[in-house]
Structure 1
Amino acid sequence: MTATSTTAPIRIGVMGAHSTGKTLLLQRIEMTLRGYGIPVNRTGQLGKRAALVPLPKMQHHTVASTEWVLAQGIADEIAAAARPGPEPIQVVLADRAAWDALAYWHAAQEWRQETPHRHDRERLLVLAATQAPKYHLLLATALDPDIPVDSRHAYDTRYRTLVDQHTHRLLAAEGIEHHRVTSDPDSQARAVDRAVKLCLKEAVV
């Protein structure tokens, strides 16, 4: 998923099932870039903010909630790039790239054993696809069922597995270029290194 332009800001997105290290991965990238003096901004907490609207989430996602997450994510990335400061933002880290919302919605549909209307499916797909050229790098985390989830999170195990399956199924079906990140520390380190090297190469330091 190579961006059509190398002008700032560089956009790096992450997607994948919940509690698979998405936010931590972006935090590591952000800290490393800041260490190089590169102005960076990170988006996030879309799920929590959707619940405050309030909109259904997780296995209860609807067309409306998915469209909100997509639209709000797009707006957040634009705002992150435009944040005022002594220096222009050179890198935007998107915690939950546009395709992520689509994977969560498809997983919710399967969890509820529902068939989405063709028009809804096509409309949401087009909305997500409009964002594809904006990402210079897309990271996709992979679920490791052997890693326990914090007991404070009452996640539905089946739904979490479905999100992981639909994430990677969607990426493959749409031919979306991405970097797969597993729970292995070396895999995570390689993802951080790839992101940082990209930014060091493209950003005006």
Structure 2
Amino acid sequence: MKLERPIMIGVLGTHSTGKSTFLARLAHELRLHDIQVATVADLGEQAQRIGLPILFNHTYASTLWFITRGISNELEAWLHADIVLVDRAAPDALGYYRAALAYRDEQPDPVAVAALESMVRSHSEHYDLLLRTTLDPDLPLGRNKRRDPNLDFRALADQHVHQVLLDLDLPHEQLNSDGHQQALDRTVAFANARLAGAGVGS
């Protein structure tokens, strides 16, 4: 179903791969073009504050919370911007849940997982551009947030987020750790072209 909405750009991938840094640079660059930008923040710290299990402890319930709360925050942002930037687009939560199950060697309830996949697939139709960060094992964990030091799970999350995109047939671009400037330039050009087509922006 086609909805009237702003341009949606989502970034996803395992932790400490530069998602928030890239989005901050992108938001700054877009605002230099007189574009109204709203950013939907990563929900990890909020989940920790309210006591939801995250990372390799993810459950169906916590994953459902991440997906539905993230979608709700995106819908609110639609009201206030020409472009909405999403730090951890909806498929990310599903990838983390799959990674947690693999890490714990648990089999998921297929009905529950199918419900999550259906929700993510349906909502992902609204993303105009998805960028997936890639894990460079030589890069250390960031220090600006509380980070899980489990490098095995970090690698699993990288693999499973990518696999979700493939399984749900969601078009996306790869955001390599050494390619942020090129991706930034391409994304700004993409956004300007879309807005020009809609008669918005400079």
TM-score past 0.5 threshold:
yes
Name the counterpart of 2:74.
Answer: 77
1:93 aligned partner: 85
Shift of 1:4: 5.5
1:128 maps to a residue whose letter is: V
* Superposed displacement of residue 155, structure 1: 2.1
Residue pair 1:111, 1:159 contacting (<8 A) in 2 also: yes
Moved more, 188-197 or 175-184: 188-197
2:104 aligned with 1:107: no
Q: Equivalent residue of 1:134, what SS?
A: coil
**5+ residue gaps, structure 1:** 84-88
Structure 2's unaligned 5+ residue stretches are: none
What's the counterpart of residue 20 of structure 1?
Answer: 17
Q: Secondary structure at the match of 1:131?
A: helix
- Among 173, 177, 181, which residue is 1:183 paired with? 177
Q: Secondary structure at the match of 1:130?
A: helix
Query: What is the rounded CA distance, in whole Å, between the counterparts of 1:71 and 1:153 in structure 2?
Result: 23
Please state how far the C-alpha of 1:66 moved relative to its aligned partner: 0.2
How far off its partner does 1:128 sit? 0.6
Q: Percent identity?
A: 38
Q: State yes or no: 1:157 paired with 2:151.
A: yes
Q: What does 1:33-72 correspond to in 2, within 5 Å?
A: 33-72=30-69
Q: Give the corresponding residue for 1:169.
A: 163
SS state of the match for residue 35, structure 2?
coil
Amino acid at match of 1:81: W
1:64-92 CA-partner distances (Å, limit 9, x unpaired): 00000000000111111213xxxxx1000
Cα deviation code 1:21-48 (max 9, x no counterpart) = 0111111110000001100000113011
The two structures, once aligned, show a CA RMSD in angstroms of 1.6
In structure 1, how many angstroms separate the alpha carbons of the residues matched to 2:28 and 2:137? 28
The structure 1 segments of at least 4 consecutive aligned residues displaced by more than 4 Å after TM superposition are: none
Task: Report if aligned partners of 2:130, 2:173 keep a CA contact under 8 Å in 1.
Answer: yes
Superposition TM-score, scaled by structure 2 size? 0.91
Checking the alignment, whether the CA contact within 8 Å between 2:121 and 2:168 is kept in structure 1 is: no
- SS of the residue corresponding to residue 136 of structure 2 reads coil
Distance 1:32-1:162 versus aligned 2 partners, 3 A rule: same
Deviation at 1:133, TM superposition (A): 1.2
1:170 partner amino acid: V
